Amino acid sequence: MSESWIVGINPVEGALSNDAERIREVLVENGQRNARVHELAERAKALRIPVHHRPREQLDKVAGEARHQGVVARYEAPPMASEGDLPELLEQAGAQALVLVLDGVTDPHNLGACLRSAAAAKVTAVIVPKDRAVGLTPVVRRASAGGADRVPLIAATNLARALRTLKDAGVWITGLAGETETSVYDIDLKGPVALVLGSEGEGMRRLTRETCDFLARIPMPGAMESLNVSVATGVVLFEALRQRSAKR
């Protein structure tokens, strides 16, 4: 396990709500008058988490470039989930399994935003390649607005092998690719499915693409050729939810 700092009101609030047992202390800026910061401090005290008031300079130092808004929390991060956890997660989800696979998303803000959408869509797991992802950094946690605490993030040593594990469990895999003519709105996303998105620049790697059962694109009648990966993630995840909730 490694320690890191969770920075800002929403990320600290998310950690207190979802993973309070891993918070080691909360630092509040001296003279802080924000009511939400005071509320977080009181919640932490009620949970018997040490709360310390410190000069702004100390919070600036641990926050780095992030905006701390007068509150930070020292957090003992758990290890990321592994490929070995995947079969159990899929078994628990059953026919409602919805997996997000991100092949090459290395920007922490994009990964955080994808985790936020994944948590909102109640995704079973998010899978990233171990050597091409940023991990659960403080920036990712902040961008996820608590989503990083709500959805399992699996760092796969071998992404193609993880995709085969999905297939063996009866999960149908759809990859997003701009060059195909098939619309994602024409793909059946009910039942156990995985949605794969690649990096904005290169898209999915060849082996990842070849492992997919289907390829689809998000129709864009406007003048843009692609969407930011976090926006595309939200579009496809909530299309899956729309189909699953549609009356038969």
pLDDT at 26 over 90: yes
| CA pair distance 209, 215, nearest whole angstrom | 8
- Burial-class residue 120 by CB neighbours within 10 Å (0-12, 13-18, 19+): middle
Per DSSP (E only), the strands in the chain are 2-7, 23-29, 51-54, 71-77, 98-103, 125-129, 153-156, 172-176, 193-198, 214-216
Q: Which amino acid is at 133?
A: A
| pLDDT at site 126 | 94
Dump pLDDT digits (tens) for 148-165.
667 888 888 889 899 999
**Selection from 50, 30, 7 nearest residue 138 by Cα:** 7
Q: What is the mean pLDDT of the chain?
A: 87
Q: Where are the domains of the chain?
A: 2-77, 83-245
Of 35-44, 69-78, 167-176, least confident by mean pLDDT is 69-78
Of 9-18, 28-37, 207-216, least confident by mean pLDDT is 9-18
What's the predicted TM-score (pTM) here? Answer: 0.76
| pLDDT at site 111 | 87
Two tokens, residue 25: 């202390």
What CATH number has the domain spanning 83-245?
3.40.1280.10
Alpha-carbon distances, residue 15 vs 25, 46, 57, 215, 240 (angstroms): 12, 15, 23, 36, 28
**Inter-axis angle of helices 86-93 and 159-168, to 10 degrees?**
30
**Mean pLDDT, residues 127-145:** 72
| pLDDT at site 83 | 84
Q: Does residue 115 have a known ligand-binding role?
A: no
Question: Under CATH, to which class is 2-77 assigned?
Answer: alpha beta
| CA pair distance 182, 173, nearest whole angstrom | 14
Q: Does residue 187 have a known ligand-binding role?
A: no
| pLDDT at site 36 | 95
pLDDT at 182 over 80: yes
The 3-class secondary structure across 67-82, one letter per residue, is: CCCCEEEEEEECCCEC
| pLDDT at site 110 | 86
**Mean pLDDT, residues 208-229:** 83
pLDDT at 146 over 90: no
Give the DSSP letter of residue 158.
S
At 241, give phi and psi (nearest 5°): -65, -40
Dump pLDDT digits (tens) for 72-128.
999 887 667 778 889 999 999 999 999 999 998 878 888 888 988 998 898 999 999
Q: Does residue 198 have a known ligand-binding role?
A: yes
